[in-house]
Chains A and B, each alone.
Chain A
Amino acid sequence: MFKKAWLLFINTFFISMSANSGYAMLGVIKNRFVNKYRWFSKEEMEDYIALAQSCPGPIGCSSAMIIGYRSCGIIGALSAALGVIIPPFIMMVLVTFFYTFISTNQYVRIFISGMQAGVCAMLLDVVLGLFSGIRKMNKPFYFAIVALSFLYVRLTDFSIFYLALFCIGTAIIKTLMIKRKVDEI
């Protein structure tokens, strides 16, 4: 069992070190554990990825934990999670030293302020992608949630967490109502 946990740690460590984002990690994880080690079938892996996408926070970490848990319980989950977290952690600690050292430099400031424009363009791309996903669901209900959330953050000073709680509540009520309708028929 410890050998499996060690394998999990080593693999997630190197995957996390080389992958640029959580989604990039998913592909490599799938390839390693399905094709190379044959711990899971392809269908199982797809279910795990869907579950990982339902978790808040970094998707790379939650998918690694799910795989770890399925292969050797809590120990597996923890060792896989550590493997994912350690490389970016060390990296960012170094970057912070670097940043506090150079951020007062005029040229660095100009470079970063140029990058700001690129960041806006990229975020715009992300937002449009999300909106087109919502449009494909083709239900006015989801548009209403988008509009409501937008007005909430722009016009009020209340915390996002109340909005999130409200959304979760709405989701529960909606599922219950659909279930009742199905039961009546």
Chain B
Amino acid sequence: MIPVWKIFLSFLKIGGFAFGGAYAVIPLIEEQMVTNNGWMTFAEFSDLVAIDELTPGPIIINSSTFIGMKLAGVPGAVAATLGCVIPGGIVALMLISLYSRYKEIPVISEIIKILKCMSAALIFSVLLKMLMSAVFPEGLESINILSLALMITSFYILKRFKTNPLYVMLGCGCINMLIYLITK
């Protein structure tokens, strides 16, 4: 069993640096869970991102509760969720008390801008990894054409019709299942 305080510390780090929207947390989780601690495999991590999309609620809270629960049951889930919420909460309270006095803080807005650039690059990097594992599941020799086709179609549908991503993803799952049943 992984000690609960270790889970808490990992999620403090994840929560403290997740700038730039809900998806900013994904690269941080990958680093903490897969690379640094080896608590999850990359495949499990990819599953997690899919599950996040299926379930309501903020992605950050969903994934931390899920991981905490998997690693150490309910205490783990509590530790992970608190860990990922506390840094943001402290910053929020600090900012709101500063705001009541100064209204505008140029350093903060500059920090946010730069961190957003950083997280765009990080998300892109994780995306590349996920793409490779979806399209080339067994190395570069064998290409999974179905995955590639699903991906391109989904992207087109998302862009063109601004569909709710949830439906697109469910569609992908269904098509994959259907083709499996037909070709079996």
Contact = CB atoms under 8 A, between A and B. Distances in A.
Contact of B127 (A60, A74, A124, A171): A124
Contact of A122 (B46, B116, B158): B158
Nearest to B156: A121
A94 B121 CA distance: 33
Interface string B43-67: 0001101110111111111100110
A55 B66 CA distance: 23
Interface string A121-141: 111111100110110010000
A100 B147 CA distance: 25
Contacts of B143: none
B2 to A, nearest CB: 15
B182 interface: no
B89 A81 contact: yes
Question: At the interface, is chain A mostly helix, strand, loop or mixed?
Answer: helix
B9 interface: no
Contacts of B57: 16, 19-20, 87-88, 91-92
Chain B interface size, under 10 / 10 to 19 / 20 to 34 / 35 or more? 35 or more
Interface string A34-63: 000000000000011001111111111110
A70 interface: yes
Nearest to B180: A110
Contact of B61 (A20, A55, A85, A118): A85
A113 interface: yes
B158 A125 contact: yes
Given A54-B95, A122-B165, A153-B122, A62 B65 contact: no
B154 A122 contact: yes
20 contacts: A22-B22, A53-B112, A58-B61, A62-B92, A66-B92, A69-B96, A74-B93, A89-B61, A91-B56, A111-B176, A112-B173, A119-B53, A120-B130, A122-B169, A126-B21, A130-B21, A137-B113, A142-B113, A159-B36, A160-B17
Interface of B: 13, 15-23, 25-28, 31, 36, 46-47, 49-51, 53-62, 65-66, 69-70, 74, 77, 81, 84-85, 87-89, 91-93, 95-96, 99, 106-127, 130-131, 133-134, 147-148, 150-152, 154-155, 158-159, 165-166, 168-177, 180
Given A57-B15, A146-B118, A153-B27, 4 more contacts: A25-B58, A57-B89, A145-B118, A167-B117
Interface of A: 16-23, 25, 47-48, 51-62, 65-66, 69-70, 74, 77, 81, 84-85, 87-89, 91-93, 95-96, 99-100, 103, 107, 110-127, 130-131, 133-134, 137, 142, 145-150, 153-154, 159-161, 163-164, 167-168, 170-172, 174-175, 179
